[in-house]
Amino acid sequence: MSVDELIKSELSHHLILADQLRASYAEIDHETLRDTLEGVSGLPEAVAVVVRSSLEDEAYIVGLKGRLEDLSARLNRLRERYEKKRALARWAMLEGDLEKVMCEDLSVSLRKGGEKLEVIDEGRVPEAFFVPQPSKLDKKGLIEALKRGEQVNGALLVMAEPTLSVRVR
């Protein structure tokens, strides 16, 4: 059974038990009902199972993130090494006046480079060559304005959903 199915099943059972207890004991107060349900319902343990599973996922996320960072750094080092070696070979061929190097497993030649753009002063480039960027909502500024009590059409400060706090002991 998946954690999703487990928690939904236990929640359904928990709610049925709550209804039955309210029907059998009409005078039961909220605190007594909660204490009783905690003892007979499997929901607290189901929540714990789901949170433990999320902690395992978090450990995988941290591990994979670290591994991806290591691999990304390695990829960057390999790219840099590749570019340096190519530049070194090009430099040596230019300095040695070699147009072509023929080997049994490869051939290397210099060819004329194509045109490339070099922007000397971006401020002097005509506006027609700039791509308009879509405007982006300044959420931080909007929140600050609303917290100062300003009325902003189309935006309100509302209470967020409760968050889950987990302390591992």
Asked if 72 and 79 touch (Cβ cutoff 8 Å), the reply is no
Computed over every residue of the chain, the mean pLDDT equals 94
* 90: Cβ contacts below 8 Å, ≥ 6 apart: 110
pLDDT at 169: 82
pLDDT tens over the chain, length 169 residues: 899 999 999 999 999 999 999 999 989 999 999 999 988 999 999 999 999 999 999 999 999 999 999 999 999 999 999 999 999 999 999 999 999 999 999 999 999 888 999 999 999 999 999 999 999 999 999 999 999 999 999 999 999 988 888 888 8
Where helices occur in 25-134 by DSSP H, the ranges are 30-40, 43-95
* 54: Cβ contacts below 8 Å, ≥ 6 apart: 166
Asked if 100 and 108 touch (Cβ cutoff 8 Å), the reply is yes
pLDDT at 168: 81
Q: Does this model's pTM top 0.85?
A: no
pLDDT at 1: 83
Give the C-alpha separation, 14 to 34, whole Å. Answer: 10
pLDDT at 165: 83
pLDDT at 4: 92
Q: Give the closest residue to 53 by CA, choosing from 122, 90, 117, 6.
A: 6
